[in-house]
Amino acid sequence: MLNLTGKVVLVTGGSRGIGEATSRTLTAAGAKVIVHYGHSADEAHRIVQDIGREQATALGADLTQAGAGAALFREAVAWQGRVDVLVNNAGIAPSVSVDDPLDEWSITWARTLQVNLMAVADLCREAILHFRTRQGGILINIASRAAFRGDNPDAMHYAASKGAVVALTRSIARGYAHENILSYAVAPGWVRTDMAAAYLREHAAEIARDIPMGDVVPPEEVANTVAFLASGLARHMTGATLDLNGASYT
Ligand code: NAD
């Protein structure tokens, strides 16, 4: 088990799915975690209660709202006076296709890019400004395999948002490595969470055929990868995107 004692981590969307697994894994390794939630305050408070108030706190922010990401980061810093690691995990994957009306298409694209990209960029910006004052810090962005192989026609906006996150991650690595600010992305294939549940149910056989390992990714494996990156044990890997997909790359 990695030792993350002393690290303060903000996990966006930290109360469900991959985010919940990440909050629990990081605190089990000794970190203190700010469990951010979008709308489900009850879930976040239950997790904080499980972990213990010494080691976790809950903060709500609706990341569809412009400026909410920056405000969230500043509130997170206020809890312990610092944040050492930011995990940008919150994300949405609504469906829309070229066959839908233009206004529906535009609204869905804008909302997806706001939550999956703009809020991530705003959080990264605040983190960089904060990390500068502390001579370093670590950013970990949850992207997706869709960033590289694209997605279904009703999820092109999702793939585009995640591709942008990979480019953002690498740009930050290039721009701020000299200030000891490290930036990584994690790109899972299908992960067994609420976001993917309906699709996984409907396409179980096809998905299993597509994955050489035979099964989708458990959220705990994404969390373990985040814990490794948060440890700072692989500093020179900055800019990298780590794949977790049971060898279903293309
Ligand atoms: P999930 O739906 O279980 O969790 C999404 C999280 O994002 C929730 O905690 C939710 O509160 C938060 N969120 C959503 N909208 C928000 C908003 N407007 N404001 C604030 N928070 C908001 O999904 P998950 O599968 O755990 O997804 C976590 C991340 O992993 C996402 O970025 C997703 O794109 C990515 N991902 C998921 C899969 C998969 O197959 N499940 C695969 C690759 C990448």
pLDDT of residue 84: 98
Regarding an ipTM greater than 0.85, the answer is: yes
**Ligand 1 in reach of 202 Cβ (< 6 A):** no
**Ligand 1 in reach of 34 Cβ (< 6 A):** no
What is the average pLDDT across 189-193? 96
- DSSP, res 216: P
Atom 16 in ligand 1: residue holding the nearest Cα: 38
Give the span between the Cα atoms of 162 and 117, in whole angstroms: 8
What is the average pLDDT across 147-171? 98
What is the average pLDDT across 164-173? 99
Residue 17 CA: which ligand 1 atom is closest? 26
Give the span between the Cα atoms of 11 and 7, in whole angstroms: 12
Cα–Cα–Cα angle for 200, 219, 109, nearest 5°? 60
Residue 190 CA: which ligand 1 atom is closest? 40
* CA 178 to ligand 1 centroid distance, Å: 31
Give the span between the Cα atoms of 213 and 208, in whole angstroms: 8
104 within 8 A of 122, measured Cβ to Cβ: no
Residue 88 CA: which ligand 1 atom is closest? 32
Phi/psi of residue 59, nearest 5 degrees: -135, 130
pLDDT of residue 249: 84
Active-site residue set: 158
pLDDT of residue 200: 93
pTM (global) more than 0.90: yes
Cα–Cα–Cα angle for 10, 13, 15, nearest 5°? 95
pLDDT, tens digit, for every residue of 57-103? Answer: 999 999 999 999 999 999 999 999 999 999 999 999 999 999 999 99
β-strand partners of 34: 10, 57
